[in-house]
Structure 1
């Protein structure tokens, strides 16, 4: 099935094919699972799903679910009221239901290259499975942010200039063709470099690829580290080699455009991981924002509401932002003081970047588990944001909470061979997972620490930098778990309640199909797949 992140390469194909329409199929479930649960999804009301989803627009504002539906009159956040009042009502609805459930909170953040529609469909299909899980039910909240490849690239062409929104229509009209032509020109100019990088990746992944025994040797060398590996037999790579050879002429054309034209989409996605916390208005002069707001009110008749709501809490160095995710976290902090709710944070791919930013806010919340699935954040950010938090939790004084429970960290990885030789778009674009594209094409790492922490080839070289059992230090590494999936041909779970989901991951997009809310998956213990 065509994975959604292949659209990074398809952006190039989009222009090469005369701007033909680019479509994709969601990678969240197979067709059998879609049909099996279609009836369940159809029965979910807007009020039901709104209790478990935050849909956030590119500027960090909340999209209010149900306000254009038939039941809008019954929803507290719809109607004639300010954005602030709608936001408060919407967030209060989630927190009220969380309190009533008496469950731990699970916050799931998807990665890049997800459309608004597909992210919502995933939430509809998963939230009841998590809420009613037989082994460890949790109250799920899905953070859905706009990260589609075409919309992000269009934002680069039309809307964003040097990190800021361009409001002047004349400037947009003049600059947009220039940006597009520059991208195409850069793709042509960068062709030799793109070929060298892509060819180097092919050589390394072919002649230096890690076998199962190589991974076992790494694990043996890191004795005492919590590494979970469901090792299996090596598989033949003959088909991949043949496919690579047959598609090489096409790759010679698409690789330079994939290398250059998709990078701006990646940059805009990174921008949107930030606007979840700080909106563009938060980064303007407050008196200018107020002036603009009043002008807008006079034109639209908008009901007056607060633009800035600043909360200063202990140990917080900066004013809080008005991004919808930040506001949700502040509401949790304020309303859950009487009940210390344990929170599990799960981020897939770019979602792990958001998870790390949440941890770095210094909020007075209890994070019980932090889970990265194929993290697209750098190893340096992992060390600078997550590791200090683990250290703090071991001191049992995080955020002034005496007796605070030490946090557990889990990081999930593809088998390095699957990571490096993943086939996208039928082999018409460069081989490798999205993380290899980021490391090789969309970033310029200064050292290994700047590469993606969600690739085993990267993290295995830096694990020993993390403090372990030492009389003078906390055993931070003892709280960290690293799980590597093997190379299985069959992925589907055999347990009845998990039918239609994957119990292993072979491609970057597979992680969203895992029962990612279960601890046994985080530790690599629940890897029984059909045919194994």
Structure 2
């Protein structure tokens, strides 16, 4: 009884993490066609009358999305916003963006919408504003933008808790049904963990082998996995890739350009990391592998769901969450408002750059597909930037191809696309918690442990190996693209980010020089 009571307490705590109490009363938030509502833009105060504030507030830059997919107050994350409240917040951001353009002498606002990836809390996004990132982007004399951060709850505890206690057959269950069925789901997770354990160990060994073979340590390069060999062959032919940093790939059917990155390290760094990995082998191949086999995989599934609920909230499918006094909007309503604003100002709409990191690219893919006709009608997007994309190659190509092929109107520019990746060796050798968790970035975990793709095109789009081994197919799929088409892999250098999956948020991701390949290899 003592242990059952403790287990019940743990489940109740997880329930609180999975669904905050205020989110139990949510209404239907179905979206109409983008751009149909009327947009009124009140006059904004001039910079000369009220200078831009260096200290930025949360509501200046944050669009908050609840786990159920609804747009909520950024200061009170449990309170959903209705269409009027969402529009007021959006108009405030537009005014600030207009004043920023005036400050820099620009003729129109330049907006940058950034969507973060998985394993992030609301506090992570807020910290970007509090730490001054928003101001640094605004005050960049070379590439200034007005940043808008889409903040969605994707931390491991709340996602796994929702899996255990609330989600059943793709829908949100009531608290009683969820708690009553939780033991069955938990037992299934334990059984799945044990069943997947041998495969988890095998993939971990495969990572160790590719890392050693890529560096020529202990085994020859011919021991590399087939996708690594194909990637090298696409660049180097039958020759060994002796000096990869000098190589460029030029698409035969599109304007695609890509590079093969270099891995650089010091003896001290390599020795230290190698020693840590050897010392943690017992834990990595037992406790760490068991964690990867099911718990993190279940959390990943819920994170994927939350990228979808931003456009089709849980309340669209179950009227139990619908109060009588509020009709909220989904998180994806931001794109509806952007498109409506562009339609109200033909020829004078803002410049727009969409940046997605990791799972943020799943959100952008869905936005591109959801509003495909409206994007074409407005020519609103200028740049699409994917950083370490967790979205699959197949889904990304399906979402991107129509947008990149759209013919711009006179005076408008075509859409540019930039796909940024880590060095392939850094990808498989990334360490977590001192080496206790299986090595490899989140993308490696997705491909090997969470998704188990049945086809190469369903592997992640943000991996250098995945992209380069499929480069000819990517080239063919994007053959009608009209703007820049750049696939850039960063060299791995000690002390120079990005050297791990999470580093992309620490580089100047808003600058064009970050997206482009250098002129001289």
Q: Normalising to structure 2: TM-score of the pair?
A: 0.75
Equivalent residues of 1:84, 1:305 under 8 A apart: no
CA distance in structure 1 between the aligned counterparts of 2:387 and 2:160, rounded to whole angstroms = 25
User: Could you say if the C-alpha distance between residues 426 and 67 of structure 1 is closer, same or farther in structure 2, counting changes exceeding 3 Å?
Assistant: closer
RMSD, aligned α-carbons: 3.2
- 8 A Cα contact 1:55 1:145, kept in partner: yes
Structure 1 pair 478/345, CA: closer, same or farther in 2 (3 Å)? closer
Distance in 1, matches of 2:518 and 2:91, equals: 37
1:422-447 deviation per Cα after TM superposition (whole angstroms, max 9, x unaligned):
11110011011110000000012121
- What does 1:207-356 correspond to in 2, within 5 Å? 207-208=213-214, 213=242, 215-216=244-245, 219=248, 225-228=256-259, 231=262, 233=264, 236=267, 237-254=270-287, 255-284=289-318, 288=319, 293=322, 296-297=323-324, 304-306=325-327, 322-324=329-331, 326-336=332-342, 337-338=344-345, 339-356=348-365
8 Å CA contact retained: 1:373, 1:454: yes
Report deviation, 1:521: 0.8
Partners of 1:115 and 1:176 lie apart in 2 by: 24
Deviation at 1:89, TM superposition (A): 2.1
CA distance in 2, matches of 1:82, 1:378: 32
Q: CA 1:200 to 1:85, structure 2 compared with 1: closer, same or farther past 3 Å?
A: same
**What's the CA shift for 1:463?**
1.7
Structure 2: distance between partners of 1:350 and 1:82: 24
Partners of 1:403 and 1:474 in 2: CA distance? 23
Q: Normalized against structure 1, the TM-score is what?
A: 0.73
> What secondary structure, in the 3-state scheme, does the structure 2 residue paired with 1:328 have?
helix
Q: Does 1:186 align with 2:192?
A: yes
Q: Which residue of the partner structure matches residue 399 of structure 2?
A: 385
2:171 alignment counterpart: 164
Contact 2:65 2:152 in 1 (8 A): yes
- Shift of residue 455 of structure 1? 0.3
Q: Deviations over 1:102-127 (max 9, x none)?
A: 32110001110011112111133211
- What secondary structure is seen at the aligned counterpart in 2 of 1:262? helix
Aligned to 1:518: 511
- 3-state SS, counterpart of residue 454 of structure 2: coil
Q: Which has the higher contact order (CA 8 A, sep 6+)?
A: 2
In 2, Cα distance between equivalents of 1:184 and 1:232: 38
SS in 2 for 1:140: strand
Structure 1 residues 220, 376: CA separation in 2 closer, same or farther (over 3 Å shift)? Answer: closer
Give, in angstroms, the shift of residue 229 of structure 1. Answer: 5.9
- Alignment equivalent of 1:56, drawn from 57, 65, 77: 65
Q: Does 1:376 align with 2:381?
A: no
- After superposition, give the CA deviation of every residue in 1:372-412 in whole Å (9 maximum; x if it has no partner): 110000011121111231112xx33xxxx555421111111
Please state how far the C-alpha of 1:83 moved relative to its aligned partner.
3.4
Give the whole-Å Cα distance in 1 for the aligned partners of 2:69 and 2:93: 18
Residues 422 and 463 of structure 2 are in contact (CA less than 8 Å); yes or no, is this contact kept in structure 1?
A: yes
The 3 A distance-change label for structure 1 pair 328 and 486 is same
Retained in 2: the 8 A contact 1:54–1:142?
A: yes
Residue 458 (structure 1) shift? 0.3
Of stretches 123-132 and 207-216 in structure 1, the one that deviates more from structure 2 is: 207-216
Partner of 2:159: 152
SS of the aligned residue for 1:172 comes to: helix
Q: Secondary structure at the match of 2:504?
A: helix
* 1:449 match: 457
Match of 1:25 in 2: none
Shift of 1:516: 0.7
The corresponding residue for 2:495 is: 490
Shift of residue 221, structure 1, vs aligned partner: 7.8
* Contact map agreement 1:187 1:256 (CA 8 A) in 2: yes
Deviation of 1:340 (Å) = 1.8
**Equivalent position to 2:147, from 140, 148, 151:** 140
Tell me, yes or no, if the aligned pair for 1:52 and 1:140 is still in contact at 8 Å: yes
The gaps in structure 2 that reach 5 residues or longer are 1-6, 14-52, 102-108, 216-227, 233-240
Cα distance change of structure 1 residues 248 and 526 upon mapping to structure 2, 3 Å threshold:
farther
Alignment match, 1:71:
none
Kindly tell me the number of residue pairs found equivalent between the two proteins.
428
Over 3 Å counting, the alpha-carbon distance change for 1:352 and 1:110 in structure 2 is: same
Separation (CA, whole Å) in 1 of partners of 2:391 and 2:54 = 37
Distance in 1, matches of 2:453 and 2:243, equals 25
How has the CA–CA distance of structure 1 residues 466 and 195 changed in structure 2, closer, same or farther, with 3 Å as cutoff?
closer
Q: 1:477 to 1:200 in 2, by over 3 A?
A: farther
